[in-house]
A and B are shown apart, each in its own frame.
Chain A
Amino acid sequence: GESVGLHLPTLSVQEGDNSIINCAYSNSASDYFIWYKQESGKGPQFIIDIRSNMDKRQGQRVTVLLNKTVKHLSLQIAATQPGDSAVYFCAENIRGAQKLVFGQGTRLTINP
């Protein structure tokens, strides 16, 4: 197996359960947030995004919650499936900086 990623926070859930992945961001000027999923050997894949004028957005089986008061972002995955196993990243767009700043990443492992 690969040795990279051993320092990543890890979340293990049972197949069929809901998963919640959390992210703290630091810049109060951030106005747009994105969650990405990265599978082994692949690039980050867009999951869902949210603007700072919203506090919740839903997609298919995924929900993003944004709490600007405490600078916290979460990704909820309903009825987790084996294919959801991956590293998940939050990214924040800092207003005026024209760039995304990525969080540390969380490795999600699904137990059968």
Chain B
Amino acid sequence: DTAVSQTPKYLVTQMGNDKSIKCEQNLGHDTMYWYKQDSKKFLKIMFSYNNKELIINETVPNRFSPKSPDKAHLNLHINSLELGDSAVYFCASSHRGYQPQHFGDGTRLSIL
């Protein structure tokens, strides 16, 4: 009964490849997010979607393209992977307003 689940947990790939990370939440939340956590544990928002509509895009390179087929899913597709993309990517969800976000357990992306 995992609340926010993302797959895969680990992703090892080569520079230049294209990859996707999937996220699903079963909490009935209407807002979903993608975060990037770097090697120093700094956690920064990348995107947020509310009811399938993009509301935050934090100057992320356009190689990153989020897609929300419905309120319960927010996937992240990354084109032409670069070494600097190596990080842990977290999906989160929440209700709108003053509500805490709930996080998945992350996808560790390693670029060779």
Contact = CB atoms under 8 A, between A and B. Distances in A.
Contacts of B55: 98
A99 interface: yes
B12 interface: no
- Chain B, interface size category, equals 20 to 34
A102 B105 contact: no
A8 B103 contact: no
A100 B101 contact: yes
Nearest to A44: B103
A101 B33 CA distance: 13
A62 to B, nearest CB: 14
Interface of A: 3-5, 7-8, 31-32, 34, 36, 38, 41-46, 49, 51, 87, 89, 93, 98-102, 104-105
5 contacts: A31-B98, A32-B98, A41-B106, A105-B42, A105-B43
Interface of B: 4, 39-45, 48, 55-56, 58, 90, 92, 98, 100-106
